[in-house]
Amino acid sequence: MSNISLSKCGIQRKPFILVPLLFLSYFFHFGFCQDLMAGTPDSEYDEKALNTHRLDNLNLLLYTFLLILTVVTIWMFKHRRLRFLHETGLAVIYGLVVGAIIRYTGPTPEVRVLPVVPSLGTHYNHSVPPDVLWLQLSKRIIERSSKTSATYLNNHTFVYTFKGEIDNTSLNEIDQKATFDPEVFFNLLLPPIIFHAAYSLKRKYFFKNLGAIFTFAFVGTTVTAFVTGSLIWGFIQIFPYLAKDFSFLDTLYFGAVISATDPVTILAIFSELHVDVNLYALVFGESVLNDAIAIVLTRAIQSYAEKYNPNHGGFEMVAFFQAVGEFLLIFTSSLVLGSTLGIATALLTKFTRIRDFPLLETCLFVLMSYTTFLIAEATDLTGIVSVLFCGMCQAHYTFNNLSDDSRVRTKSLFELLNFLAENFIFSYIGVSMFTFPKHHFDVAFICIAFIAVALGRAANIYPLSFLLNFGRKPKISRNFQHVLFFSGLRGAMAFALAIRNTMSKARQTFLTTTSLIVIGSVIFVGGSVTPLLSCFGIPVGVDEDPDHAALPGTPHRTYGSILQQTPGENTIDGTVTEPTRSSTQSEKSWLARIWGGFDTKYMKPLLTHSKPTLIDTLPPCCLPVARMLTTSEQLHLGNGGQGHSDSDIELCIDDTDSVRSGPRAFASTQPGFQRVYFVNDRKMAMDDEDRHLFYPIVSPEALTGDSLGKQLPGSSV
Amino acid sequence: MSNISLSKCGIQRKPFILVPLLFLSYFFHFGFCQDLMAGTPDSEYDEKALNTHRLDNLNLLLYTFLLILTVVTIWMFKHRRLRFLHETGLAVIYGLVVGAIIRYTGPTPEVRVLPVVPSLGTHYNHSVPPDVLWLQLSKRIIERSSKTSATYLNNHTFVYTFKGEIDNTSLNEIDQKATFDPEVFFNLLLPPIIFHAAYSLKRKYFFKNLGAIFTFAFVGTTVTAFVTGSLIWGFIQIFPYLAKDFSFLDTLYFGAVISATDPVTILAIFSELHVDVNLYALVFGESVLNDAIAIVLTRAIQSYAEKYNPNHGGFEMVAFFQAVGEFLLIFTSSLVLGSTLGIATALLTKFTRIRDFPLLETCLFVLMSYTTFLIAEATDLTGIVSVLFCGMCQAHYTFNNLSDDSRVRTKSLFELLNFLAENFIFSYIGVSMFTFPKHHFDVAFICIAFIAVALGRAANIYPLSFLLNFGRKPKISRNFQHVLFFSGLRGAMAFALAIRNTMSKARQTFLTTTSLIVIGSVIFVGGSVTPLLSCFGIPVGVDEDPDHAALPGTPHRTYGSILQQTPGENTIDGTVTEPTRSSTQSEKSWLARIWGGFDTKYMKPLLTHSKPTLIDTLPPCCLPVARMLTTSEQLHLGNGGQGHSDSDIELCIDDTDSVRSGPRAFASTQPGFQRVYFVNDRKMAMDDEDRHLFYPIVSPEALTGDSLGKQLPGSSV
């Protein structure tokens, strides 16, 4: 994660803009810097370090301030029930405003620049610029300088590392350089976002719609990328000045970059409005997976470009198949790696008693998940894909083995990280529109791209829905298709891919266009979802499971809740509501059915403490192995509440096991809790001796934020 | 946070050492890099970006792997009840091993270095090296190169930024350069550690021992710094070769750097052994505060050095008083800033209903706390001091206003961050002993330093304890003094200060010595605490409050517990155990008494929902203001469980309010919960209608890790 360089170039060039935020600064600024340039070398370096440090902090402070502003405004919006703008839209708008202020106001502190040339007699025969420069200031230069202290520079060799390239050597150019290293997005911000998406995936509906989701994500994203890329290439032939800057591969690359849709905005709104769960699952599942597809597709196109020999011209079959092969290999390898490490964590938590120490357990969980990403990236695979499938395994298996404490910790940690990372990226998209130096605005290209992106999305949704409807039981209605089309917002992933390489003019144009598409879609499409839904007659206020209706006023997917509601459990009045049988076999994807059977029979018994155990499911010849792989917890576990054999329920760990595992976790020391109630907003498990076990789901005040709740009296502000 | 440069120089130079960890690498390495150097500029840059990215990831992976190893080993140790080595010791040892392997094995990949000189006719009259170099490769150089693609380099200007200085221009020198930028420690790792310390401070005992803690921290740390510095300066006069390298100010600076003690290791052991609470409070309080003192002291000495004119010679009175003035000003300003932002958060959470959305609330809390640090650093104050006092305010006031969900979230988040950051730093100390290039080993200096540090610590503890015992009621016994002396381990803060500036030979020697002192004290002193305690006859297994004894088997400060136990509350059998009255007025520090009164009367009514309200405590003339500042929650709050007037209890929010605030948080929507029970490991509040509210404290399995618990049957592994 080299150079989280907020760094020596970003905001610090214009720190005075932060003064309104930092009124304290004037009281406390002791003027360390003014009169020290003549001190000892040590104190000068101290000073230099201090300056860098201070300016880096100003930079971070800017974004923290933007985040605080966003958080407070979101709260106001939620409190006042305004829904025309989502938090990500807010973050972008605040970012744009602050970026503009930074750009157009404030003085520019001095940067000491020295043009250099290779020293005499040096050979350099590489095709890329050197990584490191060694600067020795000759006596000649120093003696010409007036300051005596400059003699210190004599006889020292200073090291400089490669930063980038500039077009023209005007000061203004490097002025606003660094801001953030794109690596920050890939190594720090995207992994928690993707992991959280996987970890909080409603697997029940995901598996129900597996076929459609896979089709949209795999086939659809590829189609979108190629259609978008081809359309843009076609359009720009009208503009000769554009046509010479972009090859077909360039536009295809752009198509891949922009093909990743972002679910954040749309899903938050769906969630608040309680939109149909299958629609929710389709949108969520598609956007989670297509991030992974887009990133691998981008790499495959890069790889084709690298293997492509421009001297031959035309289409190169070998390079193409190599690229396709690489695409498949990278994707499946990443998938296998992610799942393997997820399963390793499940085994580690099942067969050790590390859950005795929830803090260690949580650390291990977090570290193992992050390691998945790092191993994948270090071995040239795609970390995002790995972390996605690792997250799914963690949620499906490991989550069951965790202590209660760790469940709450991991859920809330990733929820928090996801929120912060997401809003940070959107703030940054706003700020960087003005401060990032590598933008290249081209109105024609931008207009073309907007049209092509919309058409590309349409080429994904409508034909594929048509094809899918042949095989699906609950068909994807025309109105659902429209919503799917509109839900193709672009977000963090597209931006992160676009900002990764901004060396050439083509890439800079891509960055600018991507930023604008992200901003446009998040603000305008995001803002118009609510009216669109009613326009298309999409049912809102649908409860996921009918039994939720028995919990009056409980939001079923509340903003900020740690644990989700439980379907198919006893309700407050003590009656047992059966899980809905609307999800009959015929409705399920055949893929889901095959997987569900295998999962219930072998994977879950192996990796979690669930019943039936491997002793029951494996053939008798494997009994010794099965015994070894079955823990005593698993054997001694009471059957109460564990008897569901429906794989839909089994697939839906989040929903069912958060309560059931209560007894599991305490089985060795306490009698199993057998009855499960809901007390307003709390989940309660009651055992034989009438002792109670509660989980806070959401504070009752949260109801005020729920669209179905009523404003409570007496709330201040 | 410029340059979290794991970066282009660290591990990546020796990535092959990671191969044993990365067996997968060989399967999945598609050889992207071999044949691409002749591609287009874009794909070359893509390639360069990809390489940097991969190597950064290897670097991060190394530390993640070390952390996982540490976590798993700690768990093994805890599981097997081994206590001769603490987790930080483990982290250091693993770090040393891995560092040595990296250092002495593996090939060194090529770095393309180009020596440069200023271009003709350039003037440079600054006393410090330039920030940025612009490199233009002349045609002459490129034409000499054989590769045709190198022509790409022509007509481009490349930007290079300052990294540091090297002594001799051998490749080996820059070889292992960057590892981590010291800024990472100050901007990312230390703030959560310090904040967590403040947030989890047991304020009850802290305030009881306020006088002693302040004396040890303020006077004691200064004494230690000066005594250590002077002793070292005295000793090195014996070695002429050393004497010429170190001025008195240098050794004083070292004294200040090394004066910060680290409580991690010792307190973890105290905590497990249930050592006397006052001793615990003394050690914890001192080390929390002396980090703050040491960092400000270091800056004051730097500031004196900067103002000091070497031409005059001797002691400079003006500069000295300026430095002292700055010391006081920076410290108090940082304190005020931290408290102000803590109070601002308290007000924000009290007067808005942001707690309706726990996620937003948690984000706001985290962001506000981090902002405190950033504002302080950006305004030349000391972020660590600010974040320390901000943390205390957050724990004392804001915590009461938070929703239950946010309490659990913030506690567990900072616990996790603290654990990871701490172990990361200790791993890094180990690794950097071998890989950080700026080490300078000097056996004589190291021996002198070890002796001087021990004497400096003695000069703090024994004389000050002697003086304190005149005024203290429970005197600090001789054995307690010995433990205080031995508990002066050095840790993260000393290392972070030492690695911040390693430009000169003196500073490099300081870094090496500090690293060795940290390693030595963490491994050897940390390992010998348990035998020492029994040797000094320090009582262990002491319960903090006698009423804890009523909770059989419940560890009172369990590893990984989120919420602490509650003294003075009803116990499981329903009988009310009064809080111990051993803490009579005479025992409390007069400072604590004055503060306690003011706090209960004005601060808490203003900043939290506690009773009495400001309407009761303010003079009648201020009634309108008081009404405005009192929320309806505060007025309608039942008095059940709120009647304690003892300020010790009031001071001890952590312990009392985690339960009591249950009713508070829900007062507006639910009838107040009035009875509080303990159900094994769960805290339960029961209301009029027999509805229950539970808090998970710690899973019962955690008992197996507690020194007082018994091994439970049936635990696997």
To which H or E segment does residue B454 belong?
helix B443-471
**Residue B655, pLDDT score:** 37
The interface residues of chain B toward chain A in range 385-414, judged by CB-CB distance below 8 A, are 403-405, 408-409, 412-413
Q: Which residue has the higher pLDDT, A284 or A30?
A: A284
Q: How far apart are CA B6 and CA B22, in angstroms?
A: 19
Distance from CA of B212 to the nearest CA of A (A): 30
Higher per-residue confidence, A629 vs B17: A629
B120-to-A155, A470, A478, B117, B416 alpha-carbon distances in Å: 19, 74, 71, 9, 55
Model confidence band, residue B63 (pLDDT cutoffs 50, 70, 90): confident
Looking at per-residue pLDDT, the higher value among B449 and A575 belongs to B449
pLDDT digits (tens, 9 = 90+) for B99-110: 888 777 755 556
Task: Give residues with Cβ within 8 angstroms of B447, minimum separation 6.
Answer: none
Per-residue pLDDT, B125: 64
Q: How many CB atoms lie within 10 A of CB A476?
A: 22
**Cβ of A65 and B169 within 8 Å?**
no
- B184 confidence band (pLDDT: 50, 70, 90): confident
pLDDT band at B60 (very low <50, low <70, confident <90, very high): confident
pLDDT at B49 over 80: no
CB pair distance less than 8 Å for A352 and B27 = no
Q: CB distance from B41 to chain A under 8 Å?
A: yes
Q: Which residues of A touch B187 (CB under 8 A)?
A: 53, 56-57, 60
What pLDDT score does B547 carry?
A: 37
Most A CBs within 10 A among B145, B306, B510, hence the mutation to make, goes to B306
pLDDT of residue A371: 92
The minimal CB distance from B679 to the residues A125, A500, A691 is found for A691
Q: What pLDDT was estimated at residue A573?
A: 37
pLDDT tens-digit series, residues B341-388: 999 999 988 888 888 888 889 999 999 999 999 999 888 888 888 999
**What are the tokens at B398?**
């804001």
Q: Is the pLDDT of residue A2 over 80?
A: no
Record the tokens describing residue A74, joined without a space: 């979101």
Residues of A in contact with B55 (CB under 8 A): 2
- Does residue B316 sit at the A interface (CB-CB below 8 Å)? no
Question: What is the sign of the dihedral through the CA atoms of A342, A346, A352 and A356?
Answer: positive
pTM score: 0.75
Chain B residues with CB-CB distance to A691 below 8 A = 679-680
Determine the Cα angle at A84 with ends A461 and A521, to 5°: 40
Q: What is the DSSP letter of A490?
A: B
Rounded mean pLDDT of A392-417? 88
**pLDDT at B353 (0 to 100):** 81
Test mutation, B3, B86, B627, chain A, max A CBs within 10 A: B3
Q: Please indicate if any CB of chain B lies within 8 Å of the CB of A500.
A: yes
Q: Do A379 and B699 touch (CB under 8 A)?
A: no
Could you give phi then psi for residue B687, rounded to 5 degrees?
-105, -175
Give the span between the Cα atoms of B273 and A76, in whole angstroms.
48
Q: Is the pLDDT of residue A572 over 60?
A: no
CB contact under 8 A, A694 and B701: no
Confidence tier at A372 by pLDDT (50, 70, 90) = very high
Instruction: Inform me whether the pLDDT recorded for B405 exceeds 70.
Output: yes
Structure tokens at A379: 């071995």
Q: Taking a C-beta distance cutoff of 8 angstroms, is the pair A384, A374 a contact?
A: no
Are B111 and A132 a contacting pair at CB < 8 A? yes
Of B44, B351, B375, the CB nearest to A127: B44
Distance (Å, whole) CA A595 – CA A588: 11
Question: What is the rounded average pLDDT for all residues in chain B?
Answer: 70
Question: Of B28, B166, B696, which has the smallest distance from its Cβ to A333's Cβ?
Answer: B28
Query: Is A427 buried (19+), middle (13-18) or exposed (0-12) by CB count in 10 A?
Result: buried
pLDDT of residue B551: 33
Task: Summarize the confidence of residues A635-645 as an average pLDDT.
Answer: 48
Kindly state whether A671 is in contact with chain B, defined as any CB-CB distance less than 8 angstroms.
no
**In chain B, what percentage of residues exceed pLDDT 90?**
12
Does any CB of chain A come closer than 8 Å to the CB of residue B530? Answer: no
B158 in contact with chain A, both atoms CB, cutoff 8 A: yes
Average pLDDT over every residue of A391-413: 88
Inter-residue contact A115 to B118 (CB < 8 Å): yes
| List of chain A residues whose C-beta atoms are within 8 Å of the C-beta of residue B169 | 134, 157
- Mean pLDDT computed over B60-81: 85
Local structure of residue B570 (DSSP, 8 states): B
Most confident range (mean pLDDT) of A152-166, B142-156, B681-695 is A152-166
Confidence (pLDDT) at A564: 36
Which range, A489-493, A659-663, B631-635, B642-646, is most confident? Answer: A489-493
Q: Do A504 and B41 touch (CB under 8 A)?
A: yes
d(CA A653, CA A398): 10
Structural tokens at position B321? 């008083």
Q: Which residue has the higher pLDDT, B440 or A501?
A: B440
Strand A692-696 versus strand B113-118 pairing type? unpaired
Find tokens 């000073």 and name the residue: A47
Beta bridge pairs of residue A693: A685
Query: In a 10 Å sphere around its CB, with 0-12 CB exposed, 13-18 middle and 19+ buried, how is residue A503 labelled?
Result: middle
Question: Which of chain A's residues have a Cβ under 8 Å away from the Cβ of B678?
Answer: none
Please judge whether B132 and A126 are an interchain contact, meaning their C-beta atoms are less than 8 angstroms apart.
Answer: no
Residue A74, min C-alpha distance to chain B (Å): 8
Give 3-state DSSP helix, strand, coil % of chain B, rounded to 5: 65, 5, 30
Q: Does B131 touch chain A (CB under 8 A)?
A: yes
Q: Which chain B residues contact residue A124 at CB under 8 A?
A: 112, 114, 137, 141-142, 145
With contact defined as beta carbons under 8 Å apart, do A714 and A708 qualify? no
pLDDT score for A512: 92
Q: What's the pLDDT tens digit per position in B221-230?
A: 999 999 999 9
- Tell me phi and psi for residue A715, to 5 degrees: -85, 125
What digits encode the pLDDT tens for the residues A530-547? 788 888 877 776 655 443
Q: What pLDDT, on a 0 to 100 scale, did the predictor assign at position A17?
A: 36
**What pLDDT, in 10s, does the model give residues B526-584?**
778 778 888 887 777 665 544 333 333 333 333 333 333 333 333 333 333 333 334 44
More confident residue, A105 or A12: A105
Q: What is the pLDDT of residue B154?
A: 61
Q: For strand B132-136 and strand A113-118, is the pairing parallel, antiparallel, or unpaired?
A: parallel
* Strands (DSSP E) found in A137-233: 157-166
Residue B552: per-residue pLDDT: 34
Dmax (CA) of chain B: 92
pLDDT tens profile B94-146: 999 888 887 777 555 566 777 787 777 666 666 667 777 877 776 655 555 55
Give the residue-averaged pLDDT of B269-296: 83
Higher pLDDT, A246 or B308: A246
DSSP A583: S
Residue range A135-155: average pLDDT?
58
Of the listed ranges A228-232, B150-154, B176-180, B594-598, the least confidently predicted one is B176-180
Q: Spell out which residues of chain A touch residue B355, defining contact as CB-CB under 8 Å.
A: 699, 701
Q: Is the model's pLDDT at A600 over the cut of 70? A: yes
At residue A661, does pLDDT exceed 60?
A: no
Q: Pick the closest to residue A137 from B141, B129, B211 (CA basis).
A: B129
Q: Which residue has the higher pLDDT, B537 or A41?
A: B537
Contact in structure between B42 and A338 (CB atoms under 8 Å): no
pLDDT of residue A38: 34
Predicted confidence band at A125 (pLDDT cuts at 50, 70, 90)? Answer: low
Residue type, A90: L
pLDDT of A172 > 60? The answer is: no
CB distance from A18 to chain B under 8 Å?
yes
Which residue, among A164, A159, A115, has the nearest Cα to A3 in the 3D structure?
A164
Mean pLDDT of B436-456: 88
* B contacts of A271 (beta carbons < 8 Å): none
Say yes or no for a CB contact (<8 Å) between B147 and A125: yes
* Cβ contacts of A419 on chain B, cutoff 8 Å: 359, 363
Task: Check residues B549 and B318 and name the one with the higher pLDDT.
Answer: B318
Whether residue B158 and residue A146 make contact (CB cut-off 8 A), yes or no, is no
Contact call for A380 and B149, based on CB within 8 A: no
pLDDT band at A179; cut points 50, 70, 90: low
The span from the CA of B124 to the CA of B140, in Å, is 25
Question: Mean of the pLDDT values across residues A270-289?
Answer: 82
Residue pair B457/B481 in contact (Cβ under 8 Å)? The answer is no
Q: How far is residue B67 CA from its own chain's centroid?
A: 17
Q: In this structure, are residues B361 and A68 in contact, taking their beta carbons and an 8 Å threshold?
A: no
Q: Which residue of B has its CA nearest to A365?
A: B68
CA distance A598 to A604: 9
Distance (Å) from the alpha carbon of B153 to chain A's nearest alpha carbon:
7
- Please judge whether A114 and B134 are an interchain contact, meaning their C-beta atoms are less than 8 angstroms apart: yes
Among A7-11, B421-425, B605-609, name the one with the lowest average pLDDT. A7-11
Helix locations, B472-504, DSSP H: 478-486, 492-499
pLDDT of residue A446: 92
User: Is A418:A199 a contact under the CB 8 Å cutoff?
Assistant: no
What is the pLDDT confidence band of residue A323, given thresholds at 50, 70 and 90? confident
The 10 Å CB-count burial string (b at 16+, else e) for A705-716 is: bbeebeeeeebe
- Tell me how far apart the terminal alpha carbons of chain A are, to the nearest angstrom: 43
Q: How many CB atoms lie within 10 A of CB A638?
A: 14
- The DSSP secondary structure of A604-618, one letter per residue, reads HHHHSS-SS-HHHHS
What number is the ipTM of this complex?
0.74
Which of A618-627, B250-259, B484-493 bottoms out in mean pLDDT, i.e. has the lowest?
Answer: A618-627
Please tell me the least confidently modeled range out of A92-96, A154-158, A185-189, A513-517: A154-158
Mention every residue, 6+ apart, whose C-beta is less than 8 A from residue A110: none
**Range 622-641 of A in CB contact (< 8 A) with B:** 631-633, 636
Percent share of chain B, pLDDT over 70: 66
pLDDT at B456 (0 to 100): 92
Q: Which of A19, A96, A41, A59 is nearest to A516 (CA)?
A: A96
Chain B: give the shortest CA distance to residue A644, in Å.
Answer: 26
CA triple B700-B703-B709, angle to 5 deg: 135
Length of chain A: 717
Give residue-wise pLDDT tens across range A549-566.
333 333 333 333 333 333
3-state secondary structure of A576: strand
Residues of A whose CB is below 8 A from B562:
358, 405, 409
- Angle (nearest 5°) at CA A176 between A171 and A177: 95
State residue B325 phi and psi, 5-degree precision.
Answer: -60, -45
